[in-house]
Amino acid sequence: MRCPECGTLMNKHAEKPVMVTGDEIILAIHCCPKCGKVESEELSGI
Amino acid sequence: MSQTRPLSIPVILGTTRKGRMSSHAAQFMWDELRKRDGIVTELIDIRTLNLVVDDAGEAIKDPRFSEAMERADAVIIVTPEYNHGSPGLLKHVLDSCHKEYIHKPAGIVGVSAGPFGGSRVIENLLPILRELGLVSIFWDVNFGNVYKAFDPSGQLLDEAYIRRAAKFIGELIWMAKVLRYGREQVTL
């Protein structure tokens, strides 16, 4: 994933299972090493 | 490591009540934090946030709070102890974000009129912080008997709190640096 602010390749540092309307998904968290921007990405559940 | 950017460490004042002594504790912690080099900080009074109470979670995000949490490399939460727990509105505010917190350290400052300095509310908050993705540090600041810690104008009456705050802030900054490195450089 590229940072929407500066275009730098973001670092995925976390995954967390969360419930969204009754379905479990994995929320992946990415951080920009240049500007610190945080982005999340929804992945299919385990 | 991008330590050229200053560390962002906001202080959250976690109560909206009139006459809140926690505002003196939050102001004190904010003042102590601002003495450190390489830190940017702001005092976030949850009384000033625009959060509705007929919905919850990310649906009600306050943009200012969300952006501050995203920028943050660590947070200081100043909370009074009300009936052994935290103010409901503090929980309501904390619940409005999630991705913004993950792998960031949080230090808790407890405030109470009694002698225990908010130790019960701090214990109460720890599992909540964990579920939010925050990482607790192992220093707290406990303002027990808070009416003796500050005068009514907010002047600190016990200078031991300066040393306690310094230890707490030192630990928080160490955690903030390490976890920023992890978030930005260590891939899961």
Q: Calculate how close chain B gets to A24, using CA atoms only, in Å.
A: 16
Classified as helix, coil or strand, B107 is strand
Closest to A35 in 3D by CA, of B179, B144, B183, B39: B183
Whether B133 has its CB under 8 Å from any CB of chain A: the answer is yes
| Strand ranges for chain B from DSSP E | 7-8, 11-13, 39-40, 43-45, 75-80, 104-111, 134-136, 141-143
Nearest residue, CB atoms, B185 vs list A11, A15, A36: A11
- Write out residues 10-49 of B within 8 Å (CB-CB) of A: none
pLDDT value for B3: 55
Chain B, nearest residue to A16 by Cα: B133
Between CA B154 and CA A40 the distance in angstroms is 41
Instruction: Identify the bridge partners of residue B110 per DSSP, sorted by sequence position.
Output: B79, B142
Chain A, nearest residue to B7 by Cα: A36
Size of interface A-B (CB pairs under 8 A): 51
Task: Inspect the interface and report whether the beta carbons of B102 and A36 lie closer than 8 Å.
Answer: no
Classified as helix, coil or strand, B14 is coil
Written as one string, the DSSP assignment of A8-23 is PBPEEEEEEEEEETTE
Task: Inspect the interface and report whether the beta carbons of A40 and B188 lie closer than 8 Å.
Answer: no
Whether B120 has its CB under 8 Å from any CB of chain A: the answer is no
Q: Which two tokens stand for residue B140?
A: 């707290």
Digit-coded pLDDT (tens) for A2-29: 999 999 999 999 999 988 888 899 999 9
Q: Flag whether pLDDT at A46 surpasses 80.
A: no
Dihedral sign of CA atoms B169, B94, B60, B183 in order: positive
Q: B106 near B86, Cβ under 8 Å?
A: no
Q: Flag whether pLDDT at A38 surpasses 90.
A: yes
188 residues of chain B, pLDDT tens digit each: 455 899 999 999 999 999 999 999 999 999 999 999 999 999 999 999 989 999 988 889 999 999 999 999 999 999 999 999 999 999 999 999 999 999 999 999 999 999 999 999 999 999 999 999 999 999 999 999 999 999 999 999 999 999 999 999 999 999 999 999 999 999 99
What is the per-residue burial (b if ≥16 Cβ within 10 Å, else e) of B68-78? bbbbbbbbbbb
Burial class (CB in 10 A: 0-12, 13-18, 19+), A26: middle
Phi, psi of A39, rounded to the nearest 5 degrees:
-135, 150
Q: Calculate how close chain A gets to B169, using CA atoms only, in Å.
A: 21
Digit-coded pLDDT (tens) for B128-173: 999 999 999 999 999 999 999 999 999 999 999 999 999 999 999 9
